[in-house]
Structure 1
Amino acid sequence: MTKETKIVAGVLAGAALGAAVALILSSDKGEDVKDQLADWFCDLLDSSKDKLADVADSVKDKLAKVKA
């Protein structure tokens, strides 16, 4: 695994752990918690996709420089 892959995997694992703790400690209704977690996971996935796209662009740029 590359360094970036390990970082993304760590972030996602931490997010899952945080979500589990939030569910356990939450005093809100179940539906409210589910909606909040769904929104949070969507935001997390969007930001992860953006970061992965940035990494991919960086790799492409480096490969283009090496080929040139």
Structure 2
Amino acid sequence: MTKETKIVAGILAGAALGAAVALILSSDKSDDVKDKVTDWFCDLLDASKDKISDVSDTVKDKIAKVRA
């Protein structure tokens, strides 16, 4: 696992933990707040997957250039 992958994984784990704690401690238990947090977290995961994919592609390209 590369350093960048570990960093992104740590950020995602922290975001997931933060979202869970926010839902648990939220004084307003309405569905609206839960929906907003869920949407935000899904958007964060999608963006993170895109970033990881981009980093992975860059690393693969550099490895291919070194081997060539």
Output the TM-score relative to the length of structure 2: 0.77
Query: 5 Å matches for 1:1-68?
Result: 1-68=1-68
Distance 1:24 1:59 in 2: 39
How big is the alpha-carbon RMSD for the aligned residues of Structure 1 and Structure 2?
A: 1.7
- The AA in structure 2 aligned to 1:11 is I
% identical aligned pairs: 81
- The AA in structure 2 aligned to 1:30 is S
Distance 2:13 2:67 in 1: 36
Q: Which stretch shows the higher mean deviation, 21-30 or 50-59? A: 21-30
> Cα distance, 1:62 vs. partner?
0.4
Output the TM-score relative to the length of structure 1: 0.77
Displaced runs of 4+ in structure 1, greater than 3 A? none
Q: How many residues align?
A: 68
Q: Where does the alignment leave 5 or more consecutive residues of structure 1 unmatched? A: none
Distance 1:37 1:51 in 2: 21
- The AA in structure 1 aligned to 2:26 is S
Structure 1 counterpart SS, 2:28:
coil
Q: Where does the alignment leave 5 or more consecutive residues of structure 2 unmatched? A: none
